[in-house]
Structure 1
């Protein structure tokens, strides 16, 4: 089943446009979008395949962490995670 998972972090500094663009590029292969320009929070919405909400969150979190590393962003604590499947979205 397809899941849309939103993950948001919060840290101690404001992110620049270029940093969030790098994150957007890194999550794009997962059908993702990134947020956080001009904020002390950054995040992404990713599309993953999983059987359960827990698996979707685990998969998306792993992909998000890889994208954060690829984008060269500081690792901030995750403060929000939401997952919705395609059936719930209808």
Structure 2
């Protein structure tokens, strides 16, 4: 099952435009987008394949951490993590 996983990390300095562009490039192969220019947070929304929400969060977190490292971002603590399955997203659109 496909999951949309959203994560944010927060730290002690502002994230630059160039860093978020690098993060966006790193998450793009995972259907991802990045955010956080000019704030003390950086985040991404990515797509993973997993059987359960817990597995989706684990895979999403690993992908997010790897993308942040590729972008040269510091390993700030994750302050938000959520996962929505394709089925849940479809149901939300039906109501």
SS of structure 2 residue aligned to 1:26: helix
Matching residue of 1:19:
19
Uncovered stretches (5+) of structure 1, i.e. residues with no partner: none
Instruction: Indicate the SS of the match to 1:88.
Output: helix
Q: 1:54, 1:18 → 2: CA distance? A: 32
What's the offset of the Cα at 1:34? 0.4
Structure 1 runs (4+) deviating above 2 angstroms are none
Higher share in helix: 2
Aligned length, in residue pairs: 90
Q: 1:63 aligned to 2:34?
A: no
Aligned-residue offset at 1:6 = 0.2
In structure 1, the partner of 2:29 is 29
Larger Rg: 2
Q: Does 1:80 align with 2:80?
A: yes
Deviation at 1:29, TM superposition (A): 0.5
Distance 1:76 1:36 in 2: 13
